[in-house]
Structure 1
């Protein structure tokens, strides 16, 4: 086996108490391992990760275009690559041999691959569809699922519920019941709908859903219940609630949903995350820790001049940390309230503008027009409404606050969740860079220009539970593999069964890595 070492390699070299041979010898003799022995073993192996190929060279670029997503089978034997030009590639992970090229897997670029069990996997595409495949017969898909009306970007699987969850740029999250297929497709529920939806991820045990947005915040749904999510979130408007938090002004149509944030809530409890190291606008890539401890995301500033990787704790917090914030109230009887409640000066408007309707109409029009510019040639924007949002006028919200006056002027305060961060190179604008966790959760792999880098929570390769910081701190760069590709790297993935790692770039190259001892 040869190691081409195509370019520069920068490694953090920790000090070890014993060599790897000495550790193995101690195990053979049945001697008790010393404290930190596991950390040393992982550090030695990850520190030696480098590119390799059984043929002594890199995989040549393929005609499928950029490698947008990579996914190993559950047993780690197969690698499936989602490609820019409508195709899917399948590799033998042990030999790096290309087994199958599915040239017309979709009618547009393939965005994501997800294995549902040992043999079945799903792909999604900008053709608005999801397809199911069986590795035993790849001549054609087993099913094509329709439902989304825009580019489908994400596939998750809840093993607990046997439900596949998909999300798309139409703002919808669908739950597909794999146990109840119809004759031509599958039954599904539209469990959530919101503007600015970017990515949706489930925790490994299926107890949490984490949603990233194009509006600079993330949503955690604790104690997830997919069966009741659609009903619980039927009229919930996250963008409006976020607008209240940012403006310091409470709207009846938003504060009426304070109950969704209460710690006493037993199912589908909502929490927002908004503490990022940069002025984040788009949270493009999102992954959940293998133990469900935290979420790592790649965020982009509003002017696209900065990129950062951030790690946020997503575990439950104690009840005493929950708190409200008092805001200026939008008086439903007096019209438009003053922005400064301490000021005696103010103006009233007998028919004030409905801020929510104006905000959401322009937001939806702008974002959708960028995605599909030809859709809106004959579209008439909805007029500013008075009764649609519940901001003004007498309506059901007035009746609700008569019964719950303590909720009228309260907005939930977001808890600090950021634990680690690091700045990324701002290259490859317009492309999403997909991060990944190692199977043990000790290491994060991040696309880094034309290579990758391994990031850790400490310089000793410790598990997060042993190095939780008191305040946010920078991730440790454990290893940099620079210029291992000829183009910008946009995807990477660890093998779930061993220390193998792969990365894919925009010209179709796939580079394989493993410890080279």
Structure 2
């Protein structure tokens, strides 16, 4: 079964050997959540701005940076962290017949009214997360494991499978598929969607990222094209504004396509390599020496030698005003304790505001796992002749080494203040500090530990996936034995 296979390996490779805790009283934030308005002079009525100028101040306010003015929605975080501080196991959801196997992925509809479950044994389950009632089972959704589910809007959603296909479904008519999409040649593991262009983006273990035009969808499928190819592909994500594509690999590389243009297919020899190096922590920012990735294999299939040699660095990309469209950055993310050891990036998620990326990494020997947060760094390199990575390690925590060989899918909360991470037979709620502050308000000088806010245990098997509701104070988790649990505040 594919869920027993080392997920970084291709299908042709052999697999390797294989109660709720009551927290202390939830602390109250030390800083005031009330926004401070800029000072206004009565004589000139001019707004006081930082030394960087008016445009720097406006950009900082838009990004939520700085203490002078913040987003109004951030005033409500005390109430939300109080609710999550009181969260406890609520219900266990399961259909009458449990033939679905392990739970690989959970996805809420955008309105939070439906929870979909991707299962090992070809099935997709649908639940009402408010009443915890089972709605429907799509018993033959695919011919092999269902790996991922993605909602396109409140009624349309897509599923992908180890049977190499993607299926489109309509909540109003679940008896039949809208259509089946054929194009991958191996297990399909990930689905993304660009709401602006209505392009569906999928990736699989064949190394391909494929674009599907849902604007021209028929019963026979959608027009599609291969957008990108790389070896050892694991997961692919789009930033919320679809300006970047991130791709993780089983060999420890992280690929970033900057200034993304999904309308163009990338030829193997035309990748403009923007920067290439190991990511750094804040304490390493003064160093601009480029470090070469380890020799476990090139992330791009055009060469078995190091693809990051100096002749491949396009110096024209180091210019003011940003990079060319679809410029490629190849990184080896720093993982604590893993400087001299290989690692596999098994899970990849993005901050809902596009500020950071969240990785779950495991060592090649599967004896250690880490959850790491990397902030996006914008701007020009420190020196024009030196590459500078655009990701910076800010927070990390070691995870329980339970369920070796299985991917554990973690996630951000809708406001980006907390992380829900599978942890053995339960989940952990993690924050950037003990007050669940915004990432931009508590960036450390060097990589700091994620803070455990709450631990929740309601499973009797290894938890493989977890998800926050987009609209309610609710968390769902699914485990290897097929159980789905909900967590809600109890007072």
Q: TM class by shorter-chain length?
A: 0.7 to 0.9
What TM-score, normalized by structure 2, do the two folds share? 0.76
1:17 & 1:147 partners in 2: Cα distance? 51
Partner of 1:510: 484
SS of aligned partner of 1:42: helix
**Are the structure 2 counterparts of residues 188 and 493 from structure 1 closer, same or farther at C-alpha, using a change threshold of 3 Å?**
same
- Cα offset, 1:252, TM superposition: 8.5
2: CA distance, partners of 1:285 / 1:278: 19
**1:160 Cα deviation (Å)?**
1.9
- CA drift of 1:219 comes to 1.5
8 Å CA contact retained: 2:198, 2:215: yes
Match of 1:271 in 2: 329
Cα-to-partner distance string for 1:297-345 (whole Å, 9 max, x where unaligned): 1001011110000011124x221436656xxxxxxxxxxxxxxxxxxxx
Is the 1:313–1:419 Cα contact (8 Å) retained in structure 2?
yes
Give the 5 Å matches for 1:164-313. 164-181=200-217, 184-231=220-267, 234-236=269-271, 245-246=292-293, 254-259=309-314, 262=318, 264-274=322-332, 275-279=334-338, 280-313=342-375
- Cα 1:12–1:150 change in 2 (3 A) is farther
Q: 1:251 to 1:101 in 2, by over 3 A?
A: closer
3-state DSSP of counterpart to 1:319: coil
Q: Distance in 2 between matches of 1:221 and 1:442?
A: 26
Q: 1:251 to 1:40 in 2, by over 3 A?
A: closer
Tell whether 2:196 aligns with 1:160. Answer: yes
Aligned match of 1:424: 399
TM-score normalised by structure 1 residue count: 0.73
Give 1:366's aligned residue: none
Instruction: Report the structure, 1 or 2, having the larger helix content.
Output: 1
Q: Are 2:178 and 1:142 aligned?
A: yes
In structure 1, how many angstroms separate the alpha carbons of the residues matched to 2:74 and 2:215? 45
Aligned length: 403
Deviation track 1:451-490 (CA, whole Å, cap 9, x = no partner) reads 00100011011111211122111100000113x1011000
Residue 491 of structure 1: aligned partner? 465
For residues 307 and 210 of structure 2, what CA distance do their matches in structure 1 show? 28
Residue 409 (structure 2) aligns with: 434
User: Aligned equivalents of 2:361 and 2:136: distance in 1?
Assistant: 34
1:98-157 CA-partner distances (Å, limit 9, x unpaired): 110111110000000000111100000000000000001111211110110100000000
Change (3 A) 1:35 1:181: closer
Residue number among 276, 300, 318 corresponding to 2:379 in the alignment: 318
In structure 2, what is the Cα distance between the partners aligned to 1:429 and 1:268? 35
- Counterpart for residue 359 of structure 1: none
**2:26 equivalent among 1, 7, 14:** 14
Aligned to 2:110: 74
Distance 1:307 1:186, change over 3 A: same
- Give the Cα–Cα distance (whole angstroms) in 1 for the partners of residues 437 and 121 of structure 2: 40
* Whole-angstrom CA distance in 2 between matches of 1:127 and 1:35: 43
Residue 444 (structure 2) pairs with residue 469 (structure 1): yes
Contact 2:118–2:147, Cα closer than 8 Å, also in 1 = yes
Look up the SS of the partner of 1:45 in the other structure: helix
Give, in whole Å, the separation in 1 of the partners of 2:455 and 2:306: 48
Aligned to 2:76: 38
Q: Which segments of 5 or more consecutive residues in structure 2 lack a partner in the other structure? A: 1-18, 35-71, 279-290, 296-304
Once the 2 structures are TM-superposed, how far is the Cα of residue 37 of structure 1 from its aligned partner? 5.7
Secondary structure in structure 1 of the residue aligned to 2:107: strand
Give the equivalent residue in structure 2 for 1:48: 86
Kindly name which structure, 1 or 2, has the bigger radius of gyration based on alpha carbons.
Answer: 1
The whole-number CA distance in structure 2 between the counterparts of 1:255 and 1:291 is: 34
Change over 3 Å in CA distance of 1:512–1:252 after alignment to 2: closer
Matching residue of 2:54:
none
> Which whole-Å CA distance do the structure 1 matches of 2:352 and 2:404 have between them?
29
Aligned to 2:43: none
Separation (CA, whole Å) in 1 of partners of 2:383 and 2:193: 31
Asked if the contact 1:290–1:440 (Cα under 8 Å) also holds between the matched residues in 2, the reply is: yes
* Partner SS for 2:223: strand
Task: Assess if the C-alpha contact under 8 Å between 1:12 and 1:479 holds in 2.
Answer: no
* Structure 1 segment 404-419 matched on structure 2, within 5 A: 412=387, 414=389, 417-419=392-394
Residue 122 (str. 1) matches residue 158 (str. 2):
yes
CA distance in 2, matches of 1:297, 1:253: 23
